[in-house]
Structure 1
Amino acid sequence: MSEANARRAAFPFSALIGQAPLQQALLLAAVDPGIGGVLVSGPRGTAKSTAARALAELLPEGQFVTLPLGASEDRLIGTLDIESALRDASVRFSPGLLAKAHRGVLYVDEVNLLPDGLVDALLDAAASGVNTVERDGVSHTHDASFVLIGTMNPEEGELRPQLTDRFGLMVALENCYEPQIRQDIVKARLAFDLDPFAFRARHAVQQAAYIERLCDARAALTRLSFDEAVHAHVSALCIAAGVDGLRADLMMLRAARALAAFEAAEVVTVEHVDRVAESVLLHRRRFDDEAAHPHEAASSPGQPSSTDSANSSTDSDYGYLPPEPAGITHVKGVIPLSTKKR
């Protein structure tokens, strides 16, 4: 294998180690790109870009497109030649990165550092599967169905909640401190770097199985529906988490359906919902577990309840101390107010 080909070769998706939640989220977004993308939060060196490149190989076109931080809106969505439209009534469109990423992966590293306008355009296209460019009354629309993967390091700042909520799923990666898992990851990476061709050959069967399952899942997606028990469970989970709006409910149902389709299940079950719930609620949850289940946090006799404590901390000023009884010293020659003659 030439050095140039070795550099282009992606680490196999099936060879990723210790990344089960991330792999599941990426596969769900690949089965149903309408989920709206995956936001991956984590420190440096946690295989965020490696996983994204690996996923692209499983998709029909295998496209992996990276959006640079300094990209303009025109480079993202494309441009229209207005002069040609005025001259001969023809629309001449120059594709942008959204068109190039069609049927593949659009990867945005440090998405939290992008201008809000670009993030809005990305999320609109990811959710709808189409991109529309309008200039001076002239418009052009094209298909833009891709898996959006945005990564961020929390140490470098957060996305605005309004934008974070629009990502369908979120996974928070952490540094691995399990010795055996670290060793397995390092060994796999060294083996891949030493001979990418041989390493990929050892995982070829598993890779082919992933590709076939993804293709079958996409075909089966529309045949799966939700019964009342699934709807009720989704509503209960979203209410308990205190989410804003109904996007969490919709994304949870779509993610559960995508998981059922990927596993070739006959129906979407409550178990499927439970397995995708965390990636749907992680970036939308406003209530912690104690607030969501107050009956589980009953206070002991004589102790203030968690609700009372929350109200106390909310209503009082920071640093406020409760009043304490103080001793009273009587001073000679001073008449108490209560005994003064009026």
Structure 2
Amino acid sequence: MILNTIENLVRPVFPFTAIVGQEEMKLALILNVIDPSIGGVMIMGDRGTGKSTTIRAIADLLPEIEVVADDPFNSHPFNIELMSEEIKQAVENKIVLPTKYIKVPMVDLPLGATEDRLCGTIDIEKALKDGVKTFEPGLLAKANRGILYVDEVNLLDDHLVDLLLDSAASGWNTVEREGISIRHPSRFVLVGSGNPEEGELRPQLLDRFGMHAEIRTVKDPALRVKIVEQRSQFDKSPQQYISQSIPQQDELKQHIINAQINLPTTQIDYDLKVKISQVCAELDVDGLRGDIVTNRAAKAFAAYNNRDHVSQEDIRKTITLCLRHRLRKDPLESIDSGDKVNKVFQEVFG
């Protein structure tokens, strides 16, 4: 009886493998999960196209991670880069720390969040009561080794977006408050979503997202009916619907784990790297971030398809996602940015 009550308290999540369409968004999320150094994904599209559902579904799909028990930063028990300073000292002093497995953290950043809520602050209550200055971790601490999701990121305050992107790029969050300096790991996959009708992100901020997926409302009537029916079945009996999807979910989960294992040994030939950079140069992409992200995404895609060498097809499948948001906006240009990337890719790669 108690088990049923606890199970009912957990909000059911729509299975990732049951989501129909929106292949571009699903691929971008999977590649970022395989290699978080790609730098996150920005998902722009119409209202009601399943952006939030898909993002929550990918977090639910991921295998559990091992963390140091009772550590607010989800510190890794072995990897120094993913440990808080306190845990690192304990490991150096050869103290045996208890560990546990948890679901990959999925943290939502609300639009009204303050800087203190995001980065962390001093626990005033403890300072007044015990006379001890204690750090109270924020959302960046909770998101370490997980996914940080910002819905309507184009409506978020610019200074919060700056803080987010700095932490995502460096993998660390530093807080200076009341004479206390705290630095903790903050490695997460940053996922933003928004509707372009409600305003665009500044180009320099957009450029900091590794990938950019554009999604549109499904037009095919048969496919729309299928989506509506699936949602109705899920709402009617969530647990039954989830249990039917377990074999496909487990298969995809294993696929992702294998890709993460194979990624370090996946190679990309020098001539393909040169052609990627040639595409970026011809598209007049500022900086080298586009080159780096395209290389990483192509390797992740090759690993996902169980190959140890990147092919031209791997690059073709990923380059638009990596470059379309880095092009300079020309109000007189009639061609879509994604089509422009494809056109230059065909010219360079043949």
Matched, 1:211 2:253: yes
Q: 1:4 to 1:255 in 2, by over 3 A?
A: same
For residues 116 and 279 of structure 1, the distance between their equivalents in structure 2, rounded to whole angstroms, comes to 24
Deviations 1:274-333 (A, max 9, x none): 11011111211238567976xx9xxxxxxxxxxxxxxxxxxxxxxxxxxxxxxxxxxxxx
Q: 1:143 to 1:209 in 2, by over 3 A?
A: farther
The two structures, once aligned, show a CA RMSD in angstroms of 2.7
Matched, 1:185 2:224: no
Matched, 1:168 2:183: no
Q: 2:181 aligns to what SS in structure 1?
A: strand
Q: 1:240 to 1:184 in 2, by over 3 A?
A: farther
Matched, 1:11 2:53: no
Question: Which residue in the other structure is 1:56 paired with?
Answer: 59
Matched, 1:41 2:44: yes
Aligned amino acid, residue 27 of structure 1: I
Deviations 1:26-56 (A, max 9, x none): 0011111121111010111000000010011
Q: 1:139 aligns to what SS in structure 2?
A: strand
* Matched-pair contact (CA < 8 Å) for 2:15–2:61: no
Q: 2:173 aligns to what SS in structure 1?
A: strand
Aligned amino acid, residue 138 of structure 2: G
Question: Which residue in the other structure is 1:304 paired with?
Answer: none
Work out the percentage of aligned pairs sharing the same amino acid.
47
Deviation at 1:3, TM superposition (A): 10
Q: 1:63 to 1:164 in 2, by over 3 A?
A: same
Alignment of 1:287-302 (within 5 A): none
> How many pairs does the alignment contain?
292
Q: 1:167 aligns to what SS in structure 2?
A: coil
Deviation at 1:104, TM superposition (A): 2.1
Question: Which residue in the other structure is 1:194 paired with?
Answer: 236
Question: Which residue in the other structure is 1:20 paired with?
Answer: 23
Deviation at 1:136, TM superposition (A): 5.8
Which structure features the higher share of strand residues? 2
Deviation at 1:7, TM superposition (A): 6.8
Q: 1:141 to 1:218 in 2, by over 3 A?
A: farther
Question: Which residue in the other structure is 1:112 paired with?
Answer: 154
Deviations 1:209-255 (A, max 9, x none): 22222222222222223211220221122123221111100110111
Aligned amino acid, residue 131 of structure 1: N
* Matched-pair contact (CA < 8 Å) for 1:80–1:133: no
Deviation at 1:81, TM superposition (A): 5.8
* Matched-pair contact (CA < 8 Å) for 1:75–1:97: yes
For residues 325 and 296 of structure 2, the distance between their equivalents in structure 1, rounded to whole angstroms, comes to 17
Q: 1:3 to 1:84 in 2, by over 3 A?
A: closer
Q: 1:128 to 1:227 in 2, by over 3 A?
A: same
Matched, 1:151 2:193: yes
TM-score (norm 2): 0.77
Report which stretch shifted further, 217-226 or 177-186.
217-226
For residues 195 and 274 of structure 2, the distance between their equivalents in structure 1, rounded to whole angstroms, comes to 35
Aligned amino acid, residue 95 of structure 1: P
Question: Which residue in the other structure is 2:302 paired with?
Answer: 260
Q: 1:133 aligns to what SS in structure 2?
A: strand
Compare CA radii of gyration and give the structure with the larger one.
1
Question: Which residue in the other structure is 2:290 paired with?
Answer: 248
Deviation at 1:80, TM superposition (A): 4.0
Q: 1:177 aligns to what SS in structure 2?
A: coil
Structure 1 residue corresponding to 2:137, chosen from 72, 75, 95: 95
* Matched-pair contact (CA < 8 Å) for 2:167–2:186: yes
Report which stretch shifted further, 220-229 or 2-11.
2-11
Question: Which residue in the other structure is 1:236 paired with?
Answer: 278
* Matched-pair contact (CA < 8 Å) for 1:40–1:150: yes
* Matched-pair contact (CA < 8 Å) for 2:265–2:308: no
Structure 2: give runs of 5+ residues left out of the alignment.
65-102
Structure 1: give runs of 5+ residues left out of the alignment.
297-342
Deviations 1:109-143 (A, max 9, x none): 11011111111111122233222222366422222
TM-score (norm 1): 0.78
Deviations 1:148-174 (A, max 9, x none): 110111111111001001000011111
For residues 45 and 4 of structure 1, the distance between their equivalents in structure 2, rounded to whole angstroms, comes to 28
Q: 2:61 aligns to what SS in structure 1?
A: coil
Q: 1:6 to 1:44 in 2, by over 3 A?
A: farther
Structure 1 residue corresponding to 2:35, chosen from 32, 46, 67: 32
Q: 1:94 aligns to what SS in structure 2?
A: strand
For residues 304 and 60 of structure 2, the distance between their equivalents in structure 1, rounded to whole angstroms, comes to 17
Question: Which residue in the other structure is 1:75 paired with?
Answer: 117
Q: 1:200 to 1:234 in 2, by over 3 A?
A: same
Question: Which residue in the other structure is 2:268 paired with?
Answer: 226
Aligned amino acid, residue 14 of structure 2: F
